[in-house]
Amino acid sequence: MRGPHNIWRLIRTGATFERTGAMGVVLDALDAPKSVRVAFRTLVWPFKWLGIEGDPSMPPATRALSALGPAYIKFGQILSTRPDVVGQDLANQLRVLQDKLPPFGVEKARAQIESELSVALPEIFSEFSEPVAAASIAQVHKARRADTGETVAVKVLRPGIERAFRTDIDAFYFAADMIETLAPASRRLRPRDVIKHFESVVMGELDLRLESAAASEYAANTEGDAGFQLPAVVWGLSGRRVMTMSWAEGEPLGDNAALDAAGHDRVELSERVLQLFLNHALRDGFFHADMHQGNLKVAPNGDIIAYDFGIMGHIDEYTRRVYAEILYGFIRRDYKRVAEVHFEAGYVPADRDVDEFARALRAVGEPIFGMDATRISMARLLSYLFEVTERFGMQTRTELILLQRTMVVVEGVARSLNPHMNIWHTARPVVEDYIKTSLGPRAVLRDLVLTTRVLGRFGPRLPGLVEAALIRQSEGDAPARRNPWPGRIGWSAAGAVLGAVLVFGWHYWN
């Protein structure tokens, strides 16, 4: 129920940040101006006693987010990959939220497995460990299969996690409604749509059968990717609340000291993790959308291992091409083309000035090129980007939220491995390859062939479709009779005629 009772939840959120000491830590990390600090403290301090105390052994920010629940923990996981935004100290504290949260009891995990799989645990696992990792939604146990002796990872959902997420999301919806009501200018950011998108992603993550299917599809897509591997799903030991996969042995990607000790090249790893993500997003349109350090390892042979497939992103071919053109334009510093792509895709209202938008984009891109990555203030850059979107009336694109968020996370992971990494230099070969295969003459020919095949299935019906279109157009638009092509039949009928010609040509040539 998204009613006023959620005010209590929001008040308790602020009170928890104040009570745990996280409010000051976060404001310091974001370098908030004095006026903002005074406003926040004035509003929140009277309710401090209502805040959740949390675990006193945790650092303040981690303590507050973990006390508030899984949705807040997810937010903290994202920030943990952005030391350039929140500072290295706070990022290190928040990294605990990735896979080192307090676990639930092993007996509860055993009971859930037996209930889900309808079999006694000793019959399927000869060994079953205490939790080896615990995150916001589930925890993982190391086990040995009784039938094969294979070492596996068993993922089990937290008890009551569905209800906990519903409570948080309910409050988020209420906050979005309040923001849209009190600040009409914020409606272009579509806060309700953003929360709705977040809800759909999270609720999908709460069904491990869907995660198993995503892992299987992802493995099929990336089978030939050098330096990358995935654990295999054990389908017979997986269900809605339990998922079993082969065990992934390696060093955590977030442990630089361990990576150095094992002799891994962190500079090469930083480039590979970014390029792998771009390849999966652009080439396949299906990518791991939760690629923080807690979900990545480095195998002894140097391969990057990804796991935890609860959040996967999907983008269609058209969106991939738009995204690639934008990236490629920035790489080539062709801001005019980047601006034109935004207008062509409808991301910027048509009544705005394309040249002015190109100059605004230049102000974003130019400070990055040629500058050491360690000197770039991502917080300042994001702030300016927000100003640009507001100035040009750009609405939030919900279909791109997951892609944009993952790009931010992956860049943060890469820069944690190599602070001097140049994202544009690293991305260039992947984007250029995609541009050549998806936007060049070959791509045009491939699109025509695919269109012809689709139209070919309607071959016998095409004459009737064209005639019906002609009749509808002539009846509905009398002046069009004086302008027979294409006004008389409209672009839909023109497309049908062109399709008929292509179908005829296709059958003739073959």
Tokens, residue 468: 């019906």
Give 28: exposed, middle or buried? Use CB within 10 Å, 0-12, 13-18, 19+.
Answer: middle
- Taking the C-alpha atoms of 373, 283, 445 and 330 in order, what is their torsion angle to the nearest 10 degrees? -10
Q: Quick one: which of 255, 208, 197, 254 has its CA closest to 404? A: 197
* Residues known to be catalytic: 290
Q: SS3 sequence, 385-423? A: HHHHHHHCCCCCCHHHHHHHHHHHHHHHHHHHHCCCCCH
- Beta strands at 304-306 and 228-229: parallel, antiparallel or unpaired: parallel
Map residue 296 onto helix, strand or coil.
strand
Quote the CA–CA distance of 22 and 76 in Å, as a whole number. Answer: 12
Tokens, residue 412: 């943060």
How far is C-alpha 454 from the geometric centre of its chain's CA atoms? 32
Quote the CA–CA distance of 225 and 249 in Å, as a whole number. Answer: 19
228, 245, 251, 287 from 305: Cα distances, Å: 6, 13, 10, 14
Quote the CA–CA distance of 152 and 124 in Å, as a whole number. Answer: 11
Is cis: bond before 486, omega within 30 of 0? yes
190-196 contacts, C-beta under 8 A, 24 or more apart:
190/395, 190/396, 190/398, 193/396, 193/398, 194/396, 194/398, 194/401, 195/169, 196/398
Q: Quick one: which of 349, 336, 344, 329 has its CA closest to 391? A: 349
Instruction: Show Cβ contacts of residue 204 under 8 Å, excluding neighbours closer than 6 positions.
Output: 210, 310, 311
- Beta strands at 251-252 and 296-298: parallel, antiparallel or unpaired: antiparallel
Cβ atoms within 10 Å, residue 320: 18
- Name the residue type at position 398: T
